[in-house]
Amino acid sequence: MSLATTQLAKARPPATLMQTGAFRRLPPLPPTATCRRSHTQRQTGPQALSPHQVFAPLTRERPVFRIREPVRVLREPCDFYVELLTGIERARRRIVLSSLYIGSEETELVDCIRRAVERTPGMEVVVLLDCLRGTRVDSSRRSSASLLAPLAAHGVRVALYHTPALSGLNKSAWPQRYNETFGLQHIKAYVFDDDVVISGANLSRDYFTNRQDRYMVLRDAQLADYFGGLVGAVSQFSFRLDKNAGVYLDKGIADPSRYPEDFVRDANAVVAEFLERAQAQHSVDPGDVSESDTLAIPTVQMRQLGITQDEAHMGEFFALSNAFARRHACRSMMASAYFNFSPEYKAQVLSSAGRWDLLVASPQANGFYAARGISKYIPDMYSIIELEFLRNARKQYARQDIAIEEYTRPGWTYHGKGVWCYLDQRLPQMTMIGSPNYGYRSIYRDLEAQLTLIPGNAELQTAIHQEALYLLSHSKMVSESELSARTYDAPMWLYALKPFIYKKM
C-alpha cells in the first residue's frame, strides 16, 4: 500500500473547530466570559478603514494577483502529500518543485514524476533544491541527488543552488551538515499547471506524516507563472544534476564557491530583472481594488544576492498593523518552527500597540529533539531564548498581552510558520505563508519566499481562522515560571552558544 493510500485512510480532523475549546484561544471573549489570559481591551467601535485599505501600502512596488478561484487551506501532512501526487498526476504542461531537499526514501514521489514525464513528452519539469543539503548523504550513502539522477535522463531539470557565502577555505574546512549554516535555498513552492501549493514543508517522509506545517492551494495561471518564473530564475545560476548524480554549471555561470563576487553580481541581475518584470506586469491600483477581491502578494528575500524585498515587506506590515492597533483592538499571531525570531521582529512585537501570540515548537516537537551530539541541546537553547524574551516582555515592557504558545502533540514535530492579523479580533484579514522562520537566517542567509494573502470573503477568512485554531488546539501556553524551571539545570556553556544559534539556526 502506498503512503498516499495509507494517509487517506486516516481519520480527518473535525470539519470545524468553532465547536471546540480552541475557539476561546485566539479571538477575544465576551466581557462576561472568563479568559485564561489577561490583556488590555481597547475600544473596538466601527472601523474607519477596510482591511484592503489598511494593507494597501503592501501592494505598492510589488507584484499583486487577484485570485478568482477558491483558495484551499490544507491541515495535515497527509493532505499535503496527496495534493502533491494528485498535482503531478494531473499536470500536462508543467511541474515545478522548489524545496530544501527531497528525502532519499521518496521513491514513490519520484516515480510519479517519471510517469508524468513519460506520459506527456515535452512537459516542463523543474526541481530546485539546495546543493549542500541535496548532496548530503545519509547513513545508506544516499542523497536527494542520487534519488533524482535518473530523472535527469528523462529531460527533468534538477537545479541545485549553492550559496556564495561558502567559498575558498571555508568550502573545504566545514563538514557536511555544518556547512549548511552559511546559507541555503529555502523556498517551498510547488506548481502543477495553474495550481500553486505554498508551504514551509520540505519533501520527505516526516513532512508527509507527522511533521506539522502549513499548506495552501491557489489556482491562478498568472501566480503559477510567477512562481514558475522565480524558480526558473534561481535555476539559471544554480548547478545542474546529470544522470550520474554529478553536478555542473551551465556555460557562463560563475562558480559561487570559487568566484563569489562574480556570482553575486550575475545572480542579482537575474533576480532583479525577474522581480522588476513581475511588478510591471502585475501591479494594481489600490483605487481599483474591491473589498471582495482576494489579493495575493508574493515576496522574496535573498540578502546574500542583494535582494531584500521581503525584509521591507515585513517592516511595512509591522508599521501598518501597529498604526491600526493604536486606534483599534488589533491582534496578531506569528508562528515559526523555532523561537529564534530576529532582534528586529522581536522589537516590533514588544513595541507594538496590538496583542501578539507567538507559536513555536515545544522541546519535544522540535526537530532537533533527541538528536545526536551538540544538536540535542538546541531545544534547550530555544527555551532559554523564550524565557529571556518573556521576562523582557513582562518586566521591561510591562506587556501582559504577549503570549508564547508551544506546539505539543505526542509523536509529532512542528515546522509551521506564518502570520495571521486580526484587525477586528474575530476573523483574520491578512495572513502570510511560506518558507521564512522570521529569524536571522531568513533575513540574512537563505533564499526565502512567502505569500501575503488578503482574503476578499468571509469564507476564506474563516478557513484561515480555523487553520490557526487547529494549530493552537495542539499547543500550550507557557509561563515564565515553567520556562525557568525547564532551563534551571541548563549547562552554563550553552548560554555562550546563543550568538551562534541566533545566526546559524
Instruction: Encode pLDDT of 219-257 as tens digits.
Output: 999 999 999 999 999 999 999 999 999 999 999 999 999
Residue 305 to residues 7, 97, 234, 298, Cα–Cα distance (Å): 40, 21, 11, 18
Residue 41 pLDDT > 50, yes or no?
A: no
Q: Class of 42-336+416-473 per CATH? A: alpha beta
What is the arithmetic mean of pLDDT over 296-324?
Answer: 97
Is-catalytic flag, 474? no
- Give me 78's grid cell: 497527509
Model pLDDT, residue 106:
97
Provide CB contacts within 8 A for 385, sequence distance 6+.
339, 340, 498, 501
- The whole-angstrom separation of Cα 432 and Cα 336 is 12
Residue 65 pLDDT > 90, yes or no?
A: yes
Percent of the chain with pLDDT over 90: 77
Least confident range of 166-175, 194-203, 328-337: 166-175
Residue 79 pLDDT > 90, yes or no?
A: yes
Q: What is the CA radius of gyration of the chain?
A: 22
Model pLDDT, residue 49:
80
Instruction: Encode pLDDT of 393-404 as tens digits.
Output: 999 999 999 999
Which of 79, 130, 162, 188 is catalytic? The answer is 188
What is the arithmetic mean of pLDDT over 267-281?
Answer: 98
Instruction: Encode pLDDT of 92-118 as tens digits.
Output: 999 999 999 999 999 999 999 999 999
User: Where residue 363 falls among pLDDT bands split at 50, 70, 90?
Assistant: very high
Least confident range of 123-127, 179-183, 197-201, 232-236: 179-183
Answer with the residue of higher pLDDT: 43 or 143: 143
Answer with the residue of higher pLDDT: 40 or 214: 214
DSSP 8-state code for residue 248: E
Backbone angles phi, psi at 425, to 5 degrees: 65, 15
- The whole-angstrom separation of Cα 361 and Cα 346 is 17
Q: CA dihedral defined by 422, 425, 428, 433, rounded to 10 degrees?
A: 50
Model pLDDT, residue 10:
42
Q: CA dihedral defined by 69, 74, 79, 85, rounded to 10 degrees?
A: 40
Find the angle CA(187)-CA(190)-CA(193) to the nearest 5 degrees: 140
Model pLDDT, residue 371:
67
Model pLDDT, residue 495:
78
Answer with the residue of higher pLDDT: 14 or 202: 202
**Contact status, residue 352 vs residue 321, Cβ threshold 8 Å:** yes
The closest alpha carbon to 224, from 57, 91, 101, 116, belongs to 91
Mean pLDDT for the chain? 89
Percent of the chain with pLDDT over 70: 89
Is-catalytic flag, 310? no
pTM exceeds cut of 0.75: yes
Give the dihedral sign, CA 337/340/341/346. positive
Residue 496 pLDDT > 90, yes or no?
A: no
Which of 193, 195, 310, 357 is catalytic? The answer is 193
Answer with the residue of higher pLDDT: 141 or 453: 453
Model pLDDT, residue 108:
97
User: Where residue 425 falls among pLDDT bands split at 50, 70, 90?
Assistant: confident
Give the dihedral sign, CA 382/385/389/394. positive
Residue 13 pLDDT > 80, yes or no?
A: no
Give the dihedral sign, CA 479/480/485/487. positive
Is-catalytic flag, 39? no
Provide CB contacts within 8 A for 484, sequence distance 6+.
387
Which of 162, 186, 328, 417 is catalytic? The answer is 186
Instruction: Encode pLDDT of 147-163 as tens digits.
Output: 999 999 899 999 999 99
Answer with the residue of higher pLDDT: 9 or 376: 376
Model pLDDT, residue 3:
54
Model pLDDT, residue 4:
52
- Give me 34's grid cell: 472568563
The closest alpha carbon to 146, from 204, 106, 203, belongs to 106
